[in-house]
Amino acid sequence: MSFLYQRTIRLQDTDAAGVVYFANLLSICHEAYEAALAAAGVDLRAFFQGNLAIPIVHAEIDYFQPLFCGETYQISVIPTVLNPLPERPLDKFKIQYDLRQAEQLVSRASTVHLCIDVASRSRQPLPADIQRWLNPIKP
C-alpha cells in the first residue's frame, strides 16, 4: 500500500545551481510522510505529544537525475513493517519514498523509524494509530 503526494520544488529547496540541495530532499520526503499519516487519520498534534517518540534511526537517498526548481514530482510513500517475529512488539518500520516525474523514477529515499520512550530511550510498541496505518501492509 502506498500514498501519493505531489510536491513542487520551491526556490528555498534548491542550491545556487537551482537544483534540490541534497539534504532538503529528505525534508520533502518527511513532508510526504506527515501527509500520509494525516490522510490515514493520525492526529499529528497528539503524535508529537506524550511519552513516546518515533525518531528516524537510519536514512538514505539516491539521486538518478537533478530535481529543478518549479518542477512538480509525485512521491510514493511506501511503509513496511520491520518486526518479522510475532513475539516481538511492533516498534520499527521503514518508509520508502519513490520520487517520479512523468512516470520516470528520479530519486529514491528511505527512512527507518523506531518507537522509544522519551525518558528512558527504551524501545516501545508503536501507538495504536500508527499500527493501524501499518497493518494493511504487514508482511
Rounded CA gap, 116 and 6, in Å? 31
| DSSP helix/strand/coil, 32 | helix
Active site residues: 15
Q: Which cell is 32 given?
A: 510526504
CA angle 101, 103, 107 (to 5 degrees): 55
Contact 9, 67 (CB under 8 A): yes
Closest-CA residue to 56 (of 78, 76, 36, 29):
29
